[in-house]
Amino acid sequence: MPELPEVETIVRDLDKKLKNKKLVAIDSRDKKVFQLSRKELKNLLGKKVIAVRRRAKMIVFDFGGYYLIIHLKMTGQLVLKTKTGWLAGGHPILNKSGGLPNKFSRVIFKFNDGSRLFFNDIRRFGWIKLIDKDEFLKFNLGLGIEPLSSDFTLEYFKQVLERRKRIKIKQALLEQKYLAGIGNIYADESLYAARLRPFRRVRTLKPAEIKRLWLTIPRILTLAIKHRGTSFSDYVDARGEQGNFIKYLKVYGRAGEKCGNCGGFVKKIKLAGRGTHWCDSCQK
């Protein structure tokens, strides 16, 4: 599943292409993924894309009073076809030569410049929702602070950890209602960079360790965005390219390999159902 850096990469590319374009038609082929009433459709058509943004791990199309929320989940993909080219972000269901629409095309959005945005999903885990201003406010309030925003202060981070002091630190980082967008990859990488074991209880962290982790999280996420995210077999960015941050991973996906810092071996366990990676020597 794409995390904050991967979704941010997709969002930035789509915003450049779709900002100020008008939505003129929607072809919804799968009611499980997306269903609109006639009234909702009437309200949305003809609206201009104010911006394409990210909230946590979700893509938000702002139509000025109405918001399309898209979650790619495990196998979702967005493909934008324009007169001059294409962009494909998410699961690599098809390449440049692939025909569209195909059997995985669940929803097609058409814009006034002739471009079309395809939401494809093999296993139908992804979803799209249309909400109004009031619903967007509730949606927004249900998610935590963005770790790349100015609201992610040391004081806020301390408050989050104080509420969750009995659980393990990695679990605390993954709770979207407190911190929005951090997933498995960047939790492991941030904890490695902060020299903290993922299974330590929050209550055992010293003030200096909390501050170190608080400083580390934005640094790791910013670096990942710079390199257009991490790419494995199930993710490409909005240019249809693989993210380059995989070259910079220190522990995630490297179980059994030597730690680049100390020469010890990277270990892996299951923590709250997630594969979790760390170095016994570098992390305490």
* Domain total in the chain: 2
pLDDT average, residue stretch 89-110 = 80
The answer to whether residue 230 sits within a structural domain is: yes
Q: What is the pTM of this model?
A: 0.90
Claim to verify: residue 255 and residue 176 sit in the same structural domain: yes
pLDDT band at 88 (very low <50, low <70, confident <90, very high): confident
Claim to verify: residue 125 and residue 203 sit in the same structural domain: no
| Among 48, 110, 268, 274, the one annotated catalytic | 274
From 116, 141, 166, give the residue that closes a domain: 141
First and final CA of the chain: distance in angstroms? Answer: 28
Q: Using CA atoms, how far apart are residues 225 and 245, in angstroms rounded to an integer?
A: 8
The answer to whether residue 256 sits within a structural domain is: yes
CA atoms within 13 A on the CB side of 63: 19
Claim to verify: residue 17 and residue 127 sit in the same structural domain: yes
Claim to verify: residue 137 and residue 184 sit in the same structural domain: no
Decide if 5 is catalytic.
no
From 141, 172, 201, give the residue that closes a domain: 141
Mean pLDDT of the chain, nearest integer: 92
pLDDT digit string (tens) for 234-266?
A: 455 556 555 668 888 999 999 999 999 999 999
| Among 3, 6, 8, 146, the one annotated catalytic | 3
The answer to whether residue 284 sits within a structural domain is: no
| Among 2, 5, 147, 198, the one annotated catalytic | 2
Is 90 exceeded by the pLDDT of residue 90?
A: no
Q: How many CB atoms lie within 10 A of CB 230?
A: 24
Give the residue from 17, 34, 23 showing the smallest Cα distance to 109: 23
Decide if 3 is catalytic.
yes
Q: Give the CA radius of gyration of the chain.
A: 20
Claim to verify: residue 83 and residue 187 sit in the same structural domain: no
Three-state helix/strand/coil letters over the chain = CCCHHHHHHHHHHHHHHHCCCEEEEEEECCCCCCCCCHHHHHHHCCCECCEEEEECCEEEEECCCEEEEEECCCCEEEEEECCCCEEEEECCCCCCCCCCCCCCEEEEEEECCCCEEEEEECCCCCEEEEEEHHHHHHHHHCCCECCCCCCCCHHHHHHHHHHCCCCEHHHHHHCCCCECCCCHHHHHHHHHHCCCCCCCEHHHCCHHHHHHHHHHHHHHHHHHHHCCCECCCCCECCECCCCEHHHHCCCCCCCCCECCCCCCEEEEEEECCEEEEEECCCCC
From 82, 116, 141, give the residue that closes a domain: 141
**Residue ranges making up the domain that contains 101:** 4-141
CATH number of the domain that residue 238 is part of:
1.10.8.50
pLDDT above 90 covers a percentage of the chain that reads 81
| Among 57, 228, 250, 254, the one annotated catalytic | 57
Largest CA distance in the chain: 62
pLDDT digit string (tens) for 17-64?
A: 999 999 999 999 999 999 899 999 998 999 999 999 999 999 999 999
pLDDT above 70 covers a percentage of the chain that reads 93
Q: Using CA atoms, how far apart are residues 188 and 192, in angstroms rounded to an integer?
A: 6
Q: Using CA atoms, how far apart are residues 63 and 50, in angstroms rounded to an integer?
A: 5
Per-residue model confidence (pLDDT) at position 160: 97
Decide if 274 is catalytic.
yes
Task: Give the residue, 58 or 227, on which the prediction is more confident.
Answer: 58
